[in-house]
Amino acid sequence: MTTAADVKESTGVFDNALAVSGAFAIRWHPGALLDAAAAVVAEADNVQLLQAEASMDESPGSEALKDESPHLALELHRIELKLNVLLKIAGELLAREHRLPTPRLGRLSATGLECAADNAFKVGDRGTLDLFVNRSLPYSLRCNALITAERMHEGMRMVHFRFEEMGESVSDHMAKFIFRKHRRLIALARNA
């Protein structure tokens, strides 16, 4: 049986959208829906988290500065390395304090998540889903979700969460997040 530690990321289509397969840490709060005020706060937090993840994922265009200002490019590179170390340390300290859930095998698209689940996850349940998109950032995307389906895959029970009431801005950032992962996997495959 495949475990979350054994899985390699891949891409494909899930829920009629580009998706990435991998291991995802989630927390499910059945029956606990975000009210209107909490949903507005979660929306802003989700956008901020996805922007932070994007800034960690993409390196700045310091290549363009090499010709114009090599000293500035070198200094920016040093600052970036120092910030990466500080972010990693801060993330590890926060992760120790706020234990992340064990990652589950699954597929993520901008519209939903399918992941391995036990019997506590029931089709038809609505609730709040916390999805940790980056292990270095121990903060989660938080949204209302509905479990719409279940199926067996390689001996595991898989459930499908459909994101509900996710704003356009979060959906756009989510699609970009998935596309960046897709693009990185293609680049890695070409270089292999």
94-106 pLDDT tens trace: 767 777 889 999 9
| Residue 92 forms part of a structural domain | no
| Residue 172 forms part of a structural domain | yes
CATH code (residue 44):
2.40.10.220
Percent of the chain at pLDDT exceeding 90? 46
Q: Which comes out higher in pLDDT, residue 184 or 151?
A: 151
| Residue 74 forms part of a structural domain | no
Instruction: Output the 3-class SS for the chain.
Output: CCCCCCCCCEEEEECCEEEEEEEEEEEEEECCCCCHHHHHHHHHHHHHHHHHHHHHHCCCCHHHHHHHCHHHHHHHHHHHHHHHHHHHHHHHHHHHHCCCCCCEEEEEECCEEEEECCCCCCCCCEEEEEEECCCCCCCCEEEEEEEEEEEEECCEEEEEEEEECCCHHHHHHHHHHHHHHHHHHHHHHHHC
| Residue 2 forms part of a structural domain | no
| Residue 3 forms part of a structural domain | no
Mean pLDDT for the chain overall: 84
Q: How confident is the model at residue 1 (pLDDT cuts 50, 70, 90)?
A: very low
Q: Which comes out higher in pLDDT, residue 123 or 184?
A: 123
Given this model, what pLDDT does residue 10 score?
62
Instruction: Provide the residue range defining the domain that includes 152.
Output: 10-59+100-191
104-132 pLDDT tens trace: 999 999 999 999 998 889 999 999 999 99
Given this model, what pLDDT does residue 58 score?
62
| Residue 80 forms part of a structural domain | no
Total number of domains in the chain: 1
